[in-house]
A and B are shown apart, each in its own frame.
Chain A
């Protein structure tokens, strides 16, 4: 009984989670490319919480006696994957900001040379 209740809660919360992600994409707060991993995780979680046999099977494979605990394992794996994706994206953005900043500085210097315009003195 408790077992079933847990799975119902898991199914409902993953459904709510999926809707949240979709709504965020619709409002352009989230790009499809970045949302895809969230959606896949949400769908997997939903699938395993509805389909009991698959959950039992998964628990059997990895040696978990209490199948709903396998859901937690799934959740943690999903979170790790998304967090690694975040790290990759943040690193890429850091590189991009760096090269943007450098290009801007070089451009300002070149512009000074070309137009011989004295930019406002910042008092240094």
Chain B
């Protein structure tokens, strides 16, 4: 099984070195890809000096969604079986990755979200944020038919089927996480949550500052409503030959 860790990074020079160290310390031989989203600090040279990760240096800032989607395209080209999305600010803990992989490898889900709210302990974000996250969980549960508690968590693992789908359909916007959940479930993917512990960020600043929270919520709620109004992606119309060829390859192994 080939596992790729994708770290979208925007101005994470202060923390990315320690994140890469913790991933290397796992000793699992996971390939690490940092997608630099037009950082204005030394993120790229920090990663290069560490030497353990591949860097894709985007020419301009695309927003988190565009950066993440680049990682999915890379995964498609390099025949990755499992992709793990990981933050560069130190919030996500390397030793928690296996908890995300377990339901994927057991074949119980296609996408696993690491959730802060299913277990006591660890960092839970500020009060205002938690309020917003609860509202998103409520709205999303109306569309999903079941509850995902941590819709803004970026700590996620995807199987090959989800990688193929998201390389083409990932919401390439700067507020993708909650919409991504609805998009996946609506298109028949099994999305589940698993309890993980998170840490407070080590450096940099969140891409969602407090003053912009209302703007963020308005965009996200609108996006969720719209994605649930869109027709299900017709799998028989999009790139069928490629997907089928890849599936046969997997079977041969």
Residues of A within 8 A of B78 (CB): none
Q: Is the CB of B59 within 8 A of A25?
A: no
* Interface stretch (choices A11-19, A28-36, A75-83): A28-36
Q: Is the CB of B173 within 8 A of A33?
A: yes
Residues of A within 8 A of B226 (CB): 22, 25-26, 32
Residues of A within 8 A of B223 (CB): 32
* Interface stretch (choices B20-28, B141-149, B214-222): B214-222
Q: Is the CB of B222 within 8 A of A32?
A: yes
Rounded to whole angstroms, the CA-CA distance of A63 and B87 in the bound complex is 54
Q: Is the CB of A36 within 8 A of B222?
A: yes
By size class, the interface of chain A is 10 to 19
Give the B-binding residues of A (Cβ under 8 A).
Answer: 22, 25-26, 28, 31-33, 35-36, 39, 95-96, 99-100, 103
Q: Is the CB of A36 within 8 A of B219?
A: yes
Q: Is the CB of A33 within 8 A of B174?
A: yes
Partner of A31, one of B59, B60, B173, B230: B173
18 new A-B contacts at CB < 8 Å, known A32-B226, A33-B175, A96-B60 = A22-B226, A25-B222, A26-B226, A26-B229, A26-B230, A28-B230, A31-B173, A32-B219, A32-B223, A33-B173, A33-B174, A33-B219, A35-B222, A36-B215, A36-B218, A36-B222, A39-B222, A100-B60
| Chain B, residue nearest A22 (CB) | B226
Rounded to whole angstroms, the CA-CA distance of A95 and B59 in the bound complex is 11
Question: Sorted from nearest, which 9 A-B pairs have the closest CB atoms?
Answer: A96-B60, A103-B59, A32-B222, A32-B223, A32-B219, A100-B59, A25-B226, A26-B229, A26-B226
Residues of A within 8 A of B173 (CB): 31-33
Residues of B within 8 A of A39 (CB): 222
Rounded to whole angstroms, the CA-CA distance of A116 and B175 in the bound complex is 43
Shortest CB-to-CB span from A85 to chain B, Å, is 13
Rounded to whole angstroms, the CA-CA distance of A98 and B51 in the bound complex is 30
The interface bits of chain B over 93-104 (1 if a CB of A lies within 8 angstroms of the residue's CB, else 0) are 000000000000
Residues of B within 8 A of A99 (CB): 59-60
Shortest CB-to-CB span from A6 to chain B, Å, is 30
Rounded to whole angstroms, the CA-CA distance of A69 and B59 in the bound complex is 48
Residues of B within 8 A of A36 (CB): 215, 218-219, 222
